[in-house]
Amino acid sequence: MLNGKSILITGGTGSFGRAFVRTVLERYQPAKLIVFSRDELKQYEMQDELDAKRHDCLRFFLGDVRDASRLDMAFRGVDLVVHAAALKQVPALEYNPFEAVMTNVLGAQNVVNAAVRRGVAQVMALSTDKAVNPVNLYGATKLCSEKMFVAANHFFGEGSQFSIVRYGNVMASRGSVIPLFIRCRDQGQPLPITDERMTRFWITIQGAVDFVLGRIAAMRGGEVFIPKMPSMRIMDLAQAIAPGAPVRHIGIRPGEKIHETLLTIDESRNTVKNDDLFLIKPSFIDYASPPDMKPVREGYSYSSADNPRWLSIEDLREKLQVI
């Protein structure tokens, strides 16, 4: 599906971006694979890591999604854009709200406008469980971003298709709690716990990449795709990484929830499902449900607290290869 295509990923040097690029290079033969990001050092390291000389399709494009003219230049001749660029550290964004809006909201608008101007056929934007009933600024900006990408299908009419993948915490991504727990364990320090009741949806980086690639093949524009993921308890994660280690209760940080939600009761009215995923249909576009999917029951919500799928301590150890 990607052979011969020109593909650009914003935020391409982040955790997801690096895994996405590696996977595309392994499985497909794109005409171009453009890594768009604002950090020249990370691009240099990524070129060295991937042995860029072996991959004629690879391009590295310095730029920021805040810069509309730079995006317009980067999107020339591009068939598919995966929009992964975002500021996402919840506590930092609570104290730097204008920066969050500039990247996550205005940057998303720039991506939409550049894609339409350059005739990009498909745009897949990455979102987060934090966008659902948001209590922090990061979630609020990602909710705005979701609304803009869905509405772009209606506002601009025929041409570019815009869809969204919404998922939970990515296991061992940069800035996640796992590297912090491992560092505390290795240094003999107590593990910081915000609240023992806390639960989260969990997905591996490769799992996220595979899901996004699958949805690119299936997208028609306007959908929000949600994978069915297991939940995990924060105390189970602590035991998986550092069995018997002492913990230090630090309290919930600004903008943090006890449990996360990926699908609300109100959204369920427009939602269909199969064994692997939920699909929120666009409400203002004539959209026929895929034949293998059926509506969710009335009043349904998908929360990390009452998820039927759970990761045990043993599951976590296996996935993290933590002994």
Return d(Cα 45, Cα 51) in angstroms, integer: 10
Q: How many CB atoms lie within 10 A of CB 216?
A: 20
Query: Cβ(68)–Cβ(116) under 8 Å?
Result: no
Q: Which residues contact 48 (CB under 8 A, 6 or more apart)?
A: none
User: Is 281 noted as a catalytic residue in this protein?
Assistant: no
Query: Cβ(130)–Cβ(124) under 8 Å?
Result: no
Catalytic residue of the set 130, 142, 257, 273: 130
CA-to-CA dists, residue 39 to 42, 45, 62, 250, 320, angstroms: 6, 10, 7, 33, 28
Angle at 136 between CA 132 and CA 137, to 5 degrees: 100
Query: Cβ(93)–Cβ(87) under 8 Å?
Result: yes
Q: Which residues are catalytic?
A: 130
